[in-house]
Structure 1
């Protein structure tokens, strides 16, 4: 079966991009896979070459090459806007898209509703990354709910310790390292995390991995709060396991988070994980003790102190994380998608 994935870019700063790489890294020889990128940004070239997946840039193709490529596959798998609309040009092919978030900016504009009707009607299947993502999609576009299903994202658990960070005691002068990995943009809520730091004692540091358009604004906020000496900015990093192993507590502070892959990776590293109480992430974390309302830095600071002020509470949260992470394996994730491909193209 020939499968063409279409995505905006392959930056290491995005969760959907990482999702795609994890999906195509191992596959049955029965499948032939190509990846089409709308931009020229591809930071996963080595990984794609290693697994034998051909990648192409839309910008560098001639009109004839673009036509031939869209005629090549049996199935087109679209990721993100506007790539999902380009997938519609593969006329006569089976089409599948992944719904990565519980909402998007297009849903805020009634004038675009007819385009969304056309989109969901034209795709043979829409796979949501959590049950909450599916619920929100049904609420927005109930007409085509028979085409919606759920396949949870997965993590290569072998890359992480999968061991609780059990501690017997904390030193009185211990420096607690709080961390988060995620793109610095409007869907995240780094502001609440920075403001929470202002309420925490001086022996608490914040370590942020990821880059994005809001970096200067967030750095200015840290300075205005007087915490700039306790906030460390890493930019986009490739060694996520090493970054997570250096932390004591992980926080996923987001306004929108369909799944929260980084939070599962933190769980797999044995870290106590706190997350925003938003659809998708709440389902993945699965316990209200480790959730906090968005835009509530004081409550977030209280949650962090609750975990770090009591060794038994810390150890319990660490054990819970490892147990929870075991639900989201990379094998279940891949099996779900390749089963969907086979369902749409049973004779290929």
Structure 2
């Protein structure tokens, strides 16, 4: 009997959290005996620097070596592009009918809409993972309204919807996306081994070094971290790990605030563990965040974490492990970091966070998805509340 075949659809294949999560899913499921095909759009929209592009090329090489089918679709763009969108749907539909998968798993907002539109009416099962929401911080209000309508409509074209956190699920339902019976919560899985291996005793606490990891875009709130640095002790430093279009603006902001010598733009790093090992406090002040893979990695590294009160990030933080703050309140952020970098608090955070991080192990995510796939193929899902829904 042939192994079940899952086709994944996502707009861009880069070093960002949603793409890495999708890649990890594909790689994990193919090791478990499932056939996997990944359809994705061009990566040039991500403005990747050489280090990130090299990492993505290696991810693609590993996927091909593992037997994953990789299909790049030039018209599958993240930005709104009506003509390209129509061509992408046409291509996706043609490929799906040629491959005839058992399951179509779409990812992210734009990829999810176009993928589910292309999959409509086929003999396969369909599910969708938004990887966060687009309701705040990404687009001007009129564009956000359009995307919200798209999410509400395309939820009718699939079975299960997968949220990374309870907070994300509640946010999606509050915006009218799907019905409660459709939603499942399966946290993003992280390979914790390189972070759990960090020996904090080899890195004496200095109480001075903050670190943040993420794409340098407005949604990630790196400007907020710089503003918090400006009101922190004068010998505190901030390392930003990542690349993106906001790099120049962040440098200018640091100069305007007089902290340019204390801000280190480290660029994209494939291996984050050495960077986290040399930090005292992790900060992520995103304006919108599905879950925050980098937060889990920092927790596994034994760092206290300070996160903004958005999306699923507050769910990650437990007593003694960090603080949830308002991202625009620079004094609050600075005070939280100072409190958590106290030696006693830092030791407690190390114990608490390393234990908490194990909740988000890669195999936990794969177990959840594999169980959901099998339920779908067996027709055992309870999606009974179809009120107000139509195909």
Normalised by the size of structure 2, how large is the TM-score?
0.80
Tell whether 2:113 aligns with 1:85.
yes
Change (3 A) 1:285 1:165: same
Shift of 1:24: 1.6
Does the Cα contact within 8 Å between 1:177 and 1:249 map onto a contact in 2? Answer: yes
The CA distance in 2 between the partners of 1:142 and 1:87, in whole Å, is: 17
Change (3 A) 1:175 1:203: farther
Shift of 1:159: 2.2
Gaps of 5+ in 1: none
Tell whether 2:221 aligns with 1:189.
yes
**Deviation per residue, 1:100-146 (Å, 9 max, x gap):** 11443579444555433320100111100001101111111165221
Does the Cα contact within 8 Å between 2:216 and 2:247 map onto a contact in 1? Answer: yes
Change (3 A) 1:199 1:142: closer
1:7 maps to which residue? 10
1:148 maps to which residue? 183
Q: Output aligned runs, 1:250-269, within 5 Å.
A: 250-269=282-301
Does the Cα contact within 8 Å between 1:36 and 1:55 map onto a contact in 2? Answer: yes
Using CA pairs under 8 Å that are at least 6 residues apart, name the structure with larger relative contact order, 1 or 2: 1
Tell whether 2:286 aligns with 1:248.
no
The CA distance in 1 between the partners of 2:204 and 2:92, in whole Å, is: 61
The CA distance in 2 between the partners of 1:184 and 1:137, in whole Å, is: 25
* Number of aligned positions between the proteins: 342
Q: Mean Cα displacement is larger for which, 249-258 or 121-130?
A: 249-258
Shift of 1:219: 1.0
The root-mean-square deviation of aligned C-alpha atoms, in Å, is: 2.6
Change (3 A) 1:125 1:138: same
Shift of 1:175: 7.2
Shift of 1:186: 2.2
2:22 maps to which residue? 20
1:306 maps to which residue? 339
Q: Output aligned runs, 1:219-238, within 5 Å.
A: 219-238=251-270
Match 1:126 to one of 150, 161, 181: 161
The CA distance in 1 between the partners of 2:207 and 2:343, in whole Å, is: 15
Tell whether 2:96 aligns with 1:70.
yes
1:37 maps to which residue? 40
3-state DSSP class of the match of 1:327?
A: helix
Gaps of 5+ in 2: 45-55, 77-86, 380-391
2:194 maps to which residue? 159
The CA distance in 2 between the partners of 1:111 and 1:66, in whole Å, is: 22
